[in-house]
Amino acid sequence: MIDLTTRSGAPLSKLTFGTMQFGGKADQAESNAMFEAARESGINHFDTAYIYTEGASETILGPLIKPAREHIYLATKAGYTAGASRAQILEHFDISRKRLNEDAVDLLYMHRFDDRTPLEETFSTLAELQSKGLIRHIGVSNYAAWQVMKAQAVAKSLNTKIDVVQPMYSLVKRQSEVEIFPMAADQDIVVVPYSPLGGGLLTGKYAQGATGRLTEDDRYKARYDQDWMHNAARKLSELGANMGVPAATLAVAWAAEHRVAPRPIVSARSAAQLQPSLDAMSFKMSAALYDQITALSITPP
């Protein structure tokens, strides 16, 4: 597997911190507190995007990383709503750099597949940014495995490659195990999956009547509101209660334990809500426990 490092040469942390809530559900104070908690736990990989909270995520993150920039791996994304044309990539990336107050980032993702723009145009633009030292690595998010391979062929023709893939992955969303994970292992691509808590389902909070993405966002409700998923979440909570470990800690640690060594993205609305996920950084999971948790969900055929 490719060895991604910070500018100072440090290996990337087991977990990644996602700043999707910065400037949205998390105000400046909570964003600061979560950033500090993530750093104290040992996280050095931070993920944002041009589209997050209408730019507030990048604007808040920029000053936070500045004092330790050489020791932080910074990722952002472009091309979610306006496509992945050369003009859009350059425009959005320039805006992202201004918000972050950074000349360069470590990783730039294409946020989703764009079937309207030739891959040659998209990846020649990324290759150019890489050759100028404005990005170190190239990533893709929300691509199917066949889309990654199609893009990888184009990237290799331009003497570069896709280094990172960002799919959805959790105990109740395991489809990435079928093609994306084997592809990543074969292509020497790092996996940085999002939503290891299944939109909060795997914390067990919805079984207790709490509110969150599943109750507030129709997309998340459609994605996770299935009986077997709720049943898996309930059993995970019961297992955690018997062990004296938060279900969120088990869910994140499980997602990081797959043999392709994913680096799950954790996030929250507050430092208190974030802590159980951060505890997965130091949680030691046995092979027997991993198998026990795996058995709580449906293995995709």
> In angstroms, what CA-CA distances link 203 with 73, 75, 114, 115, 168?
27, 26, 33, 36, 17
Distance CA(11)–CA(257), nearest Å, equals: 17
* Second-level CATH architecture of 16-166: Alpha-Beta Barrel (3.20)
Please pick, among 50, 52, 194, 220, the residue that the annotation labels catalytic.
Answer: 52
Radius of gyration of the chain (CA): 18
Give the C-alpha distances (Å, rounded to integers) separating 189 from 18, 125, 144.
20, 20, 14
Q: What is the mean pLDDT of residues 164-178?
A: 98
**Cβ atoms within 10 Å, residue 215:** 14
pLDDT at 37 over 90: yes
Q: Give the closest residue to 151 by CA, choosing from 169, 163, 134.
A: 163
Query: What's the pLDDT band for 166 if we cut at 50, 70, 90?
Result: very high
Would you say how long the chain is, in residues? 301
Whether pLDDT at 212 is above 80: no
Q: Is a pLDDT exceeding 80 seen at residue 209?
A: no
Q: What is the pLDDT of residues 38-52, one digit of tens each?
A: 999 999 999 999 999
Q: Work out the percent of the chain whose per-residue pLDDT is above 70.
A: 98
Confidence of residue 1 (pLDDT cuts 50, 70, 90): low
Q: Which amino acid is at 212?
A: G
HSE, side-chain direction, 13 A CA sphere, residue 199: 21
Structural domain boundaries in the chain? 16-166
Measured distance CA(208)–CA(129) in Å, rounded: 48
Q: What's the gap between Cα 141 and its chain centre?
A: 9
Element (H, E) at 184: helix 180-187
pLDDT digits (tens, 9 = 90+) for 105-146: 999 999 999 999 999 999 999 999 999 999 999 999 999 999
What are the backbone dihedrals phi and psi of residue 135, each rounded to the nearest 5 degrees, phi first? -135, 150
Answer yes or no: 52 catalytic.
yes
Neighbouring C-beta atoms of residue 63, cutoff 10 Å: 12
**Average of per-residue pLDDT across 188-194:** 98
Q: pTM of the entire structure? A: 0.96
Q: With contact defined as beta carbons under 8 Å apart, do 111 and 77 qualify?
A: yes
Per-residue model confidence (pLDDT) at position 211 = 67
For the chain, give the mean pLDDT. Answer: 96
